[in-house]
Structure 1
Amino acid sequence: MEPTRYEYGSLEGDSTIRLLEMSPATTDSKLFGKLIHAQFDNEVTRYNCLSYAWGDPNFTEKIWLGANQFIPITNSLHLTLTNIGSTTDWSFTAVEDPKDAKIPIWVDAICINQEDIDEQSQQVRMMYSIYARAQFVFMHLGHGQDGDERIREICATIGRGFQAYDQDTAGRLNPEPIECGTYGLPPEDAPEWKILRRVAQLPYFTRVWVIQEVVAAKRHVAFLGSTAFDIGLLVFASLNVWRHQLPVFFREANKRLYSENTSTLGSLGVLDTETAHPTMGTRGVLQLRIIFALRGFMAGGRDVRLIEILYQCRDADATDPRDRIFALVGLSQDKYAPDLQADYRETVEEVYMRVAKYAIQTGDGPRVLCCAMGRVRRPGCPTWVPDWDSKSADGCLLHTWSIEDEKVLQPTAGGDEPRFRLMESHPQQLASEAIILDSILYLGQEANVPAARPCPDPARLIKNLNIPYPALSSIRLTAMTPTRLLDELMAAFSASAQYPEDSKSELIWRTAVCNQHKGPSTPAPSWWGSVLPALLIERRMLDMGLPARIFPPRDLNMFGEKIREVSLVLRSSYTRKGYVGMVPMDSQPGDIVAVLLGCPAPVVLRPKKNVYELVGEAYFHGFMDGEALTTEKFKQETIILV
């Protein structure tokens, strides 16, 4: 009898799921099992769930259900099930009885009929509850390499080192930073750090579905190959390495460059220290941080809105762009809202529109627009609808928030009462109450950094910094960015009659950094005004080939890097009435600068007949704290965004 593809029976009721009963492994590496139907909300039903990285999407392997029926699966899933089935050592896990690891398991690719869109949508809506009711969630991180079997002892050793440091420095005002080779930590060149880095950078940690699967779980067991261990060991070790910024994961080509010259290069705005110093697979570690922050919030009963989760998790990977929404809805306080339920019959654009409209209707209009701003737009969607498939956050420099801080801080240009209205007769349009400030007349030069182009003559610029020339090829330089921007702003403020002469010096440097210190919630310190002339002098000295060091490196570095951060996404602007500010890179002469009621910062709009396209947020000193709302020369009007 010829083997045939398994035919799924229909699931009855809203709480019915399929579970996979695995058969003992065979010598020829074939996988055998049986699918059963069960009520997942029945207390008698005991099962585990699998969380893993799909990997190569091609179905090159099979799992046999009976003698002649099979379900095609990926090679990654085949290896994952094989690894878990062969695990015998549970001593570093929460599994007390090995029999608990052998109960039926829920695996999305097998237990959901992937060819039935209606069933797929219905089961995805239940996934948070499915994972939450499982006895264990098996987190298969990857298939492992030589040495990875040591991961649990490595994490335990590193974790003990950080615990000892915390105990030793408790109560000290300014303790010395922890270093490699102290408190029992491995030396800087020890292989343990390479193993930890490799594991922390595994693709598993950047999957969007992993966020829900791990947050929902009552208990976890992590697997690296067939090595089982407590995921808490890895989380504690990796987050502490990230928190203390231990210099153990530099790119070798830039290691000496960063350690010897980062202050000077950073202060000049020519070196992105995040690029030269990529500690610990940043994306994976930061997602771990978000995951366990969400676990803490849910355990403590704190509700988190979907728009907050979407913003914080924007760097996660999803094969299907719709899953950027469907994989996270279950974590939010909005999870039961009819407008947010998974429906794979809809297009990506329909899903993103539906989510944006729901958020606007529930009072999150300013955050929706914040997330929609930036260079990447979703074809087929209005400019006010975020493209959640884009990982860019370049539109949120002036207005951002964290799920760890419920308070949305500065600025408050449009007050705290959003005035948005959806247009039922025109689904692509959004009405907003606005104050038109002016139109753009001139724009400054666009920075070269987003195009990743090196400085035209980097050797001349940094010949006094003792950098081996081969390292230059891996450095992204922003030639003249700080002084170019400052020169533009000095010329613009000098030509403007809108500002008192005695305030222009301060306005120049505050505008260059958008009046930010470490973020939108912290205004730039006044002493940065004294850093400005030192920065200009040092840059001129370096340009002439002279060694330069006037101001303390750390102070120059902070100021210069903030200018560089701003200049990556904004450029200087001069309006017809003489207002000077920073606007998105994509701005054009003739674009409108406006304040939308309820939005924290001014925005740039592009006129299109009787409607406007949203370009992005802008900084204009004198309009960041609601001044436009109380000035008689400006009037409110209704505008239409498309």
Structure 2
Amino acid sequence: MATMKVMSGYSYKKLGPGEIRLMTLLPGDDPDLLSFSIWHTSIKHARQLPASEATSMMRQVQNSLPAGWTVKETLSGRKLFMRMGYSGTPITWTHPDPAAQPDGWQDNTVKPVTCPEPSYEALSYVWGAPSDIEPANVIELGSSPAKPFIRSSIGASLAIALRHLRYTDRSRTLWVDAICINQNDVLERNLQVKRMGEIYSSAARVLVWLGAQADGSEYALRTLDYFSQQVEYTTDESIGDAPMAKEPRWWDAEYALPYDQAIWDSLVSLFRRPWFSRVWVLQEALLAHEGTVICGAEQIPWYSLRKAMVVLAEKLGLPAALFALLGSYRMGLLNRGMWSLPRLLLWGTFRQCTDPRDKVYGILSLLSTRMASAIVVDYALPVEHVYMHTLMSHVEMTGRLHLLRHCHLEDRAPNSPSWVPNFAVTKQSFFGFRKGHNRQPSGHTATDAFCKQPGVLEASGLLCATVNAVQDLPRGDLETAFAAAQSFSAAQMLADSYVAGGSMLTALSEVITKGRLCDRYPNIQPFPKRADISQGLAAVLNGAAKMEDTFSYFKEEFRLENSFLCSTKEGYLGISEARPLKDDCVCVLLGCDYPILLRPTGSGEYLVVGQIFVHGLMDGESLLGSLPPDWEIRMLPGGDGREVTCFFNATDSALTRQDPRLPEMPPEWNRLKRDRVQDDPFFHQDYQNRDSGEIINFDPRVGVAALTSRGEPASAADMIDQAQEKLRERLAQQFEKAERVCAGHGDIVRFSWG
């Protein structure tokens, strides 16, 4: 939240404990000067139903259904009943059992009940330039004797919104951040920012002000509203037609929408409005009990806009500009279970804010209470300290190093360690955040990272490969990118096999698509099959096909992101958005969901360069070895409908959740199933020690204790039988002993192997 002196003539009274300010916007006609009063009140926050209770309620609903039926929940919390595999009644809002109580099944478990008194509306808008102001009157109501008004000033952008929202015949109670928070009081700002979630979720309604009507905005909103009525999106990320949809195929990613160029242009113009470019406004809208999107005289429900954006973002053949706008926004609009800190910070890299601290503070209310409480709001802290504290808070709470994926050496902040992400940088690249990027290169591990001294991060991991050649794949189009890739790897593509198995052509297919293929993700229909991609690549090499046809699903990404293809001395192929250099190391860190490029400094120290996708290192191969013959990984719906990692044996069609590379669980450890949590949404398994009662969120078979013995790594020697002796020897070679390095400066990642 930026600092702006918006009430130059008004003297704020100090807020009491638990108080907020509200404003009463007085009636008036359009030319009249804006007049309002400011007053203090307390609100009783109507908290949301706990996730465990909401999950339990959904299970009860599922158990009440007849055989063959299932229930899913939409982003708005409404229950959608489906008879799987039956086309007669594919989807309905009505419980199939006539004896069921419909009101009970359709209780909204996602949004809290609004605060009854005082009833107010909260405004979500863009502040505009600090120097662009307009006069206004502040009136103290109910005073005796009556006091004269106070002439003040507010931002011109806010004045336009308030003039549009002002009634002509009655007053309107609003909460507006620029007026209801004393922006010149840093201590008050710190406290009120922590209460944003409470304020917006307790409002009777959140008003999303996009601005005045222009550039076909009325047609854009009507188009989005109608599209939203035809489709549904559920919390397990399923997309389908809405009950009684008039256009039953519009949900299909491959179905072309009947929009002319004018409609596409109006949609692009709408999503280019400043509201969609700002960090703060997302939580304001997502936390709304009820939201209304207003653009000039046109308005639609917030939920309609949100759903339309999520589903449209998956459509093939979108105009490139619209793909970029929707693709970067989509991850912020998903269900609450996906509002993890790494995902929201990644969403924020495409957004803007005046104060760079707000890249973190502006999403706090969307985090779990536990995570949000761990991050201190203090606008007096240096920006780099806020970012470092955020990363370490996430590490300490989750045992994951996922935020290292945000690091980019070329973008690091001055005087900041290379392992601290610079969230202030606004990205344009789509690398590694669309569907299909939930990989586990380090398996179900937890990090042991810590800061032994200021600015120095120590962690455990494997140095798996060394870069020996790099090729820039320039943004623009697939043909240009592939021409660069072909000139780089033509000799390699003629090789008989790839170091991790399969052909070089298949490996290149995996790298270019970043592993997003239908073979692995059978439920994501737009993803192509591995065989089709490989055959298409062969046809392109022979001049019989175009890259745009072979990689149609990915073509917009290649137009928007610059990336780098690299090979390693060991024979691996990889692709990165950060520029690798010869002799950079590919490292798999425990507890990190992507391999990381590290740059040796020559004295045992490393700089973090950025994330990299390396085929053959994305599924725990560095720790566990390759999958046995005939085994492959498939991402399939779990008990809650979301994708989980499964292992499929092509020989006997066996399907299991247990990794065939791991031995049996030690008898002292017991698996605990848990519901997905915001802080760690991609792991759903905890483990409890029967003897001590300790509960951990990583697999004890791949923990640091199991991988390290007497200062030398061993892959859980007491748990591996003779058939895995070869694997243990291989791990011992890779886990070379290393002394702890005492660094003289802080821009490094150090490895502690005992």
Q: TM-score scaled by structure 1? A: 0.72
* Matched residue, 1:93: none
Contact 1:71 1:110 (C-alpha < 8 Å) held by counterparts: no
Q: Does 2:198 align with 1:129?
A: yes
* Matched residue, 2:445: 417
Contact 1:486 1:508 (C-alpha < 8 Å) held by counterparts: no
Contact 2:121 2:173 (C-alpha < 8 Å) held by counterparts: yes
Change (3 A) 1:491 1:25: same
CA distance in 2, matches of 1:336, 1:633: 38
* Matched residue, 1:532: 537
Matches within 5 A, 1:83-122: 83-86=164-167, 102-122=171-191
Change (3 A) 1:237 1:401: closer
Relative to its length, the structure with more helix (as a share) is 1
SS at match of 1:345: coil
* Matched residue, 1:219: 290
SS at match of 1:614: strand
Contact 2:332 2:339 (C-alpha < 8 Å) held by counterparts: no
* Matched residue, 1:341: 376
Contact 1:373 1:394 (C-alpha < 8 Å) held by counterparts: no
2:469 to 443, 455, 458: 443
Deviation at 1:416, TM superposition (A): 2.1
CA distance in 1, matches of 2:391, 2:557: 32
Deviation at 1:409, TM superposition (A): 3.3
Deviation at 1:617, TM superposition (A): 3.0
Deviation at 1:175, TM superposition (A): 11
CA distance in 1, matches of 2:131, 2:474: 39
* Matched residue, 1:488: 488
CA distance in 2, matches of 1:620, 1:305: 25
Change (3 A) 1:364 1:388: farther
Change (3 A) 1:482 1:218: same
Deviation at 1:229, TM superposition (A): 4.6
* Offset from partner CA, 1:364-409 (integer Å, 9 cap, x none): 5331112224642222322222222224375953xx476xx9xx73
Contact 2:313 2:326 (C-alpha < 8 Å) held by counterparts: no
Identity score, percent: 23
Deviation at 1:207, TM superposition (A): 1.9
* Matched residue, 1:607: 600
* Matched residue, 1:57: 130
Aligned-residue CA RMSD in angstroms? 4.1
Deviation at 1:127, TM superposition (A): 1.0
Deviation at 1:128, TM superposition (A): 0.9
Q: Greater CA deviation, 483-492 or 203-212? A: 483-492
* Offset from partner CA, 1:167-218 (integer Å, 9 cap, x none): 46759999993542xxxxxx625x6665455334322123211111111111
Matches within 5 A, 1:29-428: 29-41=32-44, 43-66=116-139, 67=148, 69-86=150-167, 102-145=171-214, 148=217, 167=245, 177=255, 179-180=257-258, 188=260, 194-225=265-296, 227-235=298-306, 242-244=313-315, 250=319, 274=320, 278-279=321-322, 282-283=324-325, 287=329, 289-290=330-331, 292-294=333-335, 297=336, 302=337, 304-334=339-369, 337-363=372-398, 365-373=400-408, 375-392=410-427, 396-397=431-432, 400=433, 409-410=438-439, 412-424=440-452, 426-428=453-455
Change (3 A) 1:70 1:479: same
Change (3 A) 1:567 1:504: farther
Contact 1:573 1:580 (C-alpha < 8 Å) held by counterparts: yes
Change (3 A) 1:490 1:106: same
Structure 1 stretches of 5 or more lacking a match?
89-98, 181-186, 251-273, 450-475, 539-549
Change (3 A) 1:523 1:619: farther
Amino acid at match of 1:489: S
Q: How many residues align?
A: 537
Q: Does 2:586 align with 1:593?
A: yes
Deviation at 1:583, TM superposition (A): 5.4
Amino acid at match of 1:293: L
Change (3 A) 1:316 1:161: same
CA distance in 2, matches of 1:240, 1:594: 36
* Matched residue, 1:434: 461
* Matched residue, 2:11: 7
SS at match of 2:446: coil
Contact 1:512 1:566 (C-alpha < 8 Å) held by counterparts: no
Contact 1:419 1:432 (C-alpha < 8 Å) held by counterparts: yes
CA distance in 1, matches of 2:480, 2:540: 11
2:25 to 22, 27, 46: 22
CA distance in 2, matches of 1:173, 1:104: 39
* Offset from partner CA, 1:239-258 (integer Å, 9 cap, x none): 665555577xx5xxxxxxxx
Deviation at 1:605, TM superposition (A): 1.1
Deviation at 1:496, TM superposition (A): 11
Amino acid at match of 2:481: T
Change (3 A) 1:582 1:48: closer
Change (3 A) 1:32 1:503: closer
CA distance in 2, matches of 1:566, 1:150: 27
Amino acid at match of 1:329: L
SS at match of 2:208: strand
Amino acid at match of 1:444: V
